[in-house]
Amino acid sequence: MWNQDKSLNLSILLVRVLFVLIIILALCVPIMVRWYDIVSPDRTGLISGSVFWPLSICLYLSAICGEVCLYHLYKLLKNIKNDIVFKTENCKHLRYISWCCLLVAIPFGIFGFWRFLGFFVAFAAAFFGLVLRVLKNVFVRAVEIQEENDYTI
Amino acid sequence: MPIIVNLDVMMAKRKISSGDLAKKIEITPANLSILKTGKAKAIRFSTLEKLCEVLDCQPADILEFRKEDSHADEI
């Protein structure tokens, strides 16, 4: 029977898998970028030429942000599993995740000058970061309400 | 906070221990401690009612409003 605990365990497992996957993908960045450099049309950005270095830097920075994101996501899920939900610590994790998403938008925004596709990725990352930021604000308020409830005798 | 909880004073007057009081008003000793130390943010009418009943007093005997000294921070 599917229950909340199993769902939480699945989320934790997926986070772990993704953590390893990002490391593997980061190791494959030179191969992927070289392939992309060959297949992508050259005139789809303001700056023409090879995208090997810009895209490599972009992907490595994103990989670092992704790993930080996943670490905080893992901590958040562990806290939820231990029934620590509306606590200041979780707000901190959400804030870090949101900042990581916003940080990813910067290199991809710059990469957009080489290939316009970068702008779309940057927009998606910034949008996701913003959504998480709003979620964090909701969480902060929820923590206040929870504390008020805890201290109502 | 300008609301002072004088529960310990009333408890001393009635000569009742924290454990006994917690048991009589049906709250945990930890919650009673929060109330006594002034960490509580709110008190339910039902809790106040039980406290007044057990301690045989009025709400004003337990709760007191004291204006905060605005100059305290400056010093």
- Give me the number of domains chain A comprises: 1
Suggest the residue from B1, B41, B43, B48 to mutate for an interface test with chain A (most A CBs closer than 10 A).
B41
A–B interface: beta-carbon pairs under 8 A: 23
**The pTM is what?**
0.78
Cα separation, B64 vs B41, whole angstroms:
14
Three-state DSSP class for residue B5? strand
Which stretches within chain A are classed as H helix? 4-27, 29-39, 52-81, 88-111, 117-150
- Residue B1 pLDDT more than 70? no
Q: Which of A132, A125, A123, A142 is nearest to A73 (CA)?
A: A132
Among B27, B32, B34, whose Cβ lies nearest the Cβ of A151?
Answer: B34
CB contact under 8 A, B44 and A148: no
What is the token pair recorded at A106?
């910067």
CB contact under 8 A, A151 and B32: no
Q: Which residues of B touch A152 (CB under 8 A)?
A: 40-44
Per DSSP, what are the bridge partners of residue B3?
A: B65
> Nearest C-alpha of chain B: how many angstroms from A147?
9
Q: What is residue A50's DSSP assignment?
A: -
Cα separation, A95 vs A134, whole angstroms:
10
Sequence-distant contacts of B25-30: CB under 8 A, at least 24 apart: B25/B50, B25/B51, B25/B54, B26/B50, B27/A153
What is the token pair recorded at B31?
């919650």
Could you give the dihedral angle defined by the CA atoms of residues A23, A29, A35 and A40, in that order, rounded to the nearest 10 degrees? 100
User: Residue A121's pLDDT band (boundaries 50, 70, 90)?
Assistant: very high
Query: Considering the domain B3-65, what is its CATH architecture?
Result: Orthogonal Bundle (1.10)
Residue with tokens 């901590």: A75
- Over residues A16-60, the pLDDT tens digits come to 999 999 999 999 999 999 998 888 877 777 888 888 899 999 999
- Over residues B2-52, the pLDDT tens digits come to 889 999 999 999 999 999 999 999 999 999 999 998 889 899 999 999 999
The answer to whether A111 touches A46, Cβ cutoff 8 Å, is no
Give residue A115's domain range: 4-36+44-150
Domain regions of chain B by residue span:
3-65
